[in-house]
């Protein structure tokens, strides 16, 4: 803890003065983050570092398992963060970001010991779709391979849950919202993104198009075409 406190002093003495103009602008004009990232609370995953974000760039919500409960099933911090990011801040890109070696997915796959953590057990039920999909469609997987498959499926499941939130549904229907599903491979130092067209996760590369899970597209145009 003393080491962390020392870094606070370094922020006050070095970091803040060198970025005083930026902080002044954010104080005067408020925030306009470019994206909302919903990531795992795992201490090894730092969204701002992964995206090399500066203050004001990224709105972040972190929790165990990068979970987004379906709307109205558990109104709380995640729901409020999503609603505020979209309705108040005008965020138009949301990233659900999982990672390899995820303790939440390990606990979901092998729940022995969760008896002593009833709140964790209840929370992880929001990721049960990932377990069901893997066990049903990839039942041959075991051990680390099973957990890794659940990590990817959990990102897909949480993107589906995210679309039940009215603020997100409204923005998507208007063609103002894109959804992204990422997995950070902490062993390789790579980020993989879900391509909604192929259903596959591919490594993000600066010389290739960004894979997007659900690109922005106004749905009312399809309704007009049907008429």
Q: Where are the beta strands (DSSP E) in the chain?
A: 35-40, 58-63, 93-99, 178-185, 190-195, 200-203
- The order of strands in the sheet holding 178-185 is 58-63, 35-40, 93-99, 178-185, 190-195, 200-203
Tell me if 40 is assigned to a ligand binding site. Answer: yes
Tell me if 126 is assigned to a ligand binding site. Answer: no
Rounded to an integer, what distance in angstroms lies between the CA atom of residue 87 and that of residue 206? 31
Rounded to an integer, what distance in angstroms lies between the CA atom of residue 204 and that of residue 194? 10
Are 105 and 158 a contacting pair, CB within 8 Å?
no
Question: At 209, phi and psi to the nearest 5?
Answer: -60, 145
Cα 153–Cα 124–Cα 178 angle in degrees, nearest 5? 45
Rounded to an integer, what distance in angstroms lies between the CA atom of residue 103 and that of residue 150? 11
Q: How many CB atoms lie within 10 A of CB 131?
A: 21
* Cα torsion 112, 113, 118, 120: sign: negative
Are 7 and 66 a contacting pair, CB within 8 Å?
no
* Residues of the binding site: 40, 42, 99, 102
* Residues of the binding site for Zn(2+): 40, 42, 99, 102
């Amino acid at each position: 803890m003393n080491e962390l406190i020392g870094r606070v002093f370094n922020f006050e003495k070095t970091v803040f003065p060198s970025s005083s103009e930026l902080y002044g602008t954010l104080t005067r004009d408020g925030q306009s983050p470019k994206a909302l990232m919903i990531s795992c609370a795992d201490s090894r995953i730092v969204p701002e570092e992964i995206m090399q974000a500066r203050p004001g760039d990224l709105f972040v919500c972190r929790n165990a398992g990068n979970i987004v409960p379906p709307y109205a099933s558990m109104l709380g911090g995640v729901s409020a963060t999503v609603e505020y990011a979209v309705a108040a801040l005008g965020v138009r890109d949301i990233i659900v970001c999982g990672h390899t070696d995820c303790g939440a997915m390990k606990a979901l796959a092998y729940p022995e010991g969760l008896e002593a953590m009833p709140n964790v057990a209840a929370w992880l039920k929001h990721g049960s779709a990932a377990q069901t999909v893997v066990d049903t469609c990839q039942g041959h997987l075991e051990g680390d391979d099973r957990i890794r498959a659940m990590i990817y499926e959990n990102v897909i499941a949480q993107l589906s849950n995210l679309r039940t939130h009215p603020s997100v549904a409204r923005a998507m229907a208007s063609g103002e919202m894109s959804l992204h599903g990422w997995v950070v491979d902490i062993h390789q130092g790579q980020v993989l993104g879900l391509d909604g067209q192929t259903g596959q996760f591919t490594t993000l590369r600066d010389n290739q198009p960004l894979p997007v899970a659900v690109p922005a597209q106004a749905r009312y145009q399809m309704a007009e075409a049907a008429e």
